[in-house]
Homo-oligomer: A and B are copies of this chain.
Amino acid sequence: MTIDEAFGAVLKELRASKGITQEQLGFDADLDRTFISLLERGLRQPSLASIFQLSKALGVSPSHIVQRVEDTLSAASKR
């Protein structure tokens, strides 16, 4: 489990819980739709600025997202 994959899983989960599409998230976060797709599948990693933009669009704090990435990683390492 890489950092990128963990972030992608968290992003996908947060977006689903908000009930919006990748297109809407891309619009709200001012990021390209295809880039959101790459992020969710762990093929790209976000910069710090992108994390802040996404968190704002998702209505959560940036540190909360990072916290969940940490949790996802530690949970995966215990398998």
Taking Cβ atoms with an 8 Å cutoff, the residues of A that contact B are: 3-4, 7, 45-49, 51-52, 61-64, 66-67, 69-70
Contacts and interface: CB of A to CB of B under 8 A. Distances in A.
28 contacts: A3-B48, A3-B49, A3-B52, A4-B48, A4-B49, A45-B47, A45-B48, A45-B49, A46-B47, A46-B48, A47-B47, A47-B48, A48-B48, A48-B51, A48-B66, A48-B69, A51-B66, A61-B67, A61-B70, A62-B66, A62-B69, A62-B70, A63-B63, A63-B64, A63-B66, A63-B67, A63-B70, A66-B66
Nearest to A73: B52
Nearest to A66: B63
